Amino acid sequence: MGRQRSSKPTSFDIAYLAGVSQPTVSRALRGSRSVSLATRQRIEAIAQELNYSVDKNASSLRSQRSNTIALLFFEDPTPDESNINPFFLSMLGSITRQCAARGLDLLISFQKMEDDWHVRYQDSHRADGLILLGYGDYTLYKSRLEQLVGQGAHFVRWGSVSEGNIGATVGSDNVGAGRLAGEHLLGLGRRRIAFLGHADEHYPEFADRYRGLCDAMAGRGIAPDPALQVDALTAEDAGHAAARMLIARGKAFDAIFAASDLIAIGAMRAIAEAGLSVPRDVAIVGFDDIPAASLTSPPLTTIMQDMKSAGELLVDTVLAQVEDRPPPPNMLAARLVVRRSSDG
């Protein structure tokens, strides 16, 4: 005897008609990739035919899911006192759209190193998982990531992708991007290329970019000069101070690859103050393609990261943990955007 349906269709009715279990129906209607595409499409077609709609509140109670992702920004000093790196602001739109497409709410907050993020958001069921943007000195941040892993938290961060990552990480191919910048400057005939930005374990993304530059130079038989590397954090003032220090060292250089656009913008100011011309005397390449990069004088050549795909991957990666399925790819290619700061 066939299953007698009630007047209001349920997920059990769909399961019966599709020949699958009710949990499979629930996963399929959440868009889980643990269910095959053919099965998902069959279930979705039956649900549409029955005019079935998911009761999000009931679903959340059964699964103890909040259907909310918490996006936590690490505070960065900024001239406008927003305390958010403008690069991460450009990623926010993509994350928001991807959450909306997946039927999720997005909770946005600042993160402080001393806060217990796991208890505040996931253990209290305020959020199913965390997206972490920015972290400062990685050697200080590392212990917090280890703690999150030990607590079984669902989280993903934007950062340097390597085999030794603690927890899930999504990021750009920083080594490949650094190589792109180096090859561009070398192709212009520049040989004394300086790097502004930390190049050690404290800031692994910057270190990867410097490594890519060194790889490009080595490919042309040029040994990088350690005196042409100056530490700098992601801030205009830091870039200005680093460029002044570079000039004061008295070592000849004809190009600068800055680890971020903010560093590059500060460096351009120091170069002008020294009576040098960009790009005639010094070609400059930044990294991130923040909105201000196209407004500098001259406009800044930079590395553009794929913000649309970044937001999508961050959301999908944390959802994969929540739904206990394999994660998506975690590394994105970047591309060079050539402007007048390096056109000669």
Q: At what angle do helices 22-29 and 11-18 cross, to 10 degrees?
A: 110
Q: Same domain, yes or no, for 179 and 124?
A: no
Count: domains in the chain: 3
Q: Same domain, yes or no, for 38 and 185?
A: no
Q: How far is CA 20 from the centre of its chain?
A: 38
Q: Same domain, yes or no, for 312 and 163?
A: yes
Query: In this structure, is residue 200 part of a structural domain?
Result: yes
Q: Is 77 left (phi over 0), alpha (psi -120 to 50) or beta?
A: beta
Q: Same domain, yes or no, for 241 and 311?
A: no
Q: Same domain, yes or no, for 182 and 254?
A: yes
Q: Same domain, yes or no, for 87 and 107?
A: yes
Query: In this structure, is residue 130 part of a structural domain?
Result: yes
| Cα–Cα distance, 40 to 190 (Å, whole number) | 55
Q: Which of 202, 203, 211 is nearest to 173 (CA)?
A: 211
| Cα–Cα distance, 135 to 141 (Å, whole number) | 6
Q: Same domain, yes or no, for 158 and 99?
A: yes
**pLDDT value, residue 62:** 43
Q: Residue written as tokens 């971020």?
A: 260
Enclosing H/E stretch for 337: strand 335-337
Query: In this structure, is residue 63 part of a structural domain?
Result: no
Q: Same domain, yes or no, for 184 and 238?
A: yes
**pLDDT value, residue 193:** 98
**pLDDT value, residue 310:** 94
Q: Quick one: 99 exposed, middle or buried, by C-beta within 10 A (0-12, 13-18, 19+)?
A: buried
**pLDDT value, residue 76:** 65
CA atoms within 13 A on the CB side of 289: 15
| Cα–Cα distance, 129 to 322 (Å, whole number) | 7
Tell me, what amino acid is at 113? M
| Cα–Cα distance, 194 to 246 (Å, whole number) | 8
Strand, helix or coil for residue 154: coil
- Two structure tokens written together for 313: 């991957």
Cβ contact 333:307 at 8 Å:
no
DSSP result, 260-319: SHHHHHHHHHHHHHTT--TTTT-EEE-SB--GGGGGSSSPPBEEEP-HHHHHHHHHHHHH
| Cα–Cα distance, 251 to 141 (Å, whole number) | 35
Strand, helix or coil for residue 229: strand
Cβ contact 196:230 at 8 Å:
yes
Q: Residue written as tokens 């460029």?
A: 243
Q: Same domain, yes or no, for 33 and 150?
A: no
Q: Same domain, yes or no, for 161 and 183?
A: no
**What are the mean pLDDT values of the chain's consecutive 10-residue runs (344 residues total)?**
60 88 77 80 90 62 72 71 72 92 89 64 77 86 84 89 90 97 98 96 95 98 97 94 98 97 97 97 96 95 95 94 89 97 84
Bridge pairing between strands 302-304 and 335-337: antiparallel
For residue 135, what is the DSSP state? -
**pLDDT value, residue 116:** 65
Query: In this structure, is residue 4 part of a structural domain?
Result: no
Query: In this structure, is residue 324 part of a structural domain?
Result: yes
Q: Same domain, yes or no, for 200 and 274?
A: yes
Cα separation of the two ends of the chain: 81
Give the structural domain span for 41.
11-54
Query: In this structure, is residue 62 part of a structural domain?
Result: no
CATH number at residue 276: 3.40.50.2300
Cβ contact 228:214 at 8 Å:
no
Reply yes or no: is the peptide bond before residue 279 cis, omega within 30 of 0.
yes
Cβ contact 30:104 at 8 Å:
no
Tell me, what amino acid is at 33? R
Q: Same domain, yes or no, for 36 and 17?
A: yes
Query: In this structure, is residue 144 part of a structural domain?
Result: yes
Bridge pairing between strands 168-172 and 155-158: parallel
| Cα–Cα distance, 71 to 250 (Å, whole number) | 45
Query: In this structure, is residue 311 part of a structural domain?
Result: yes
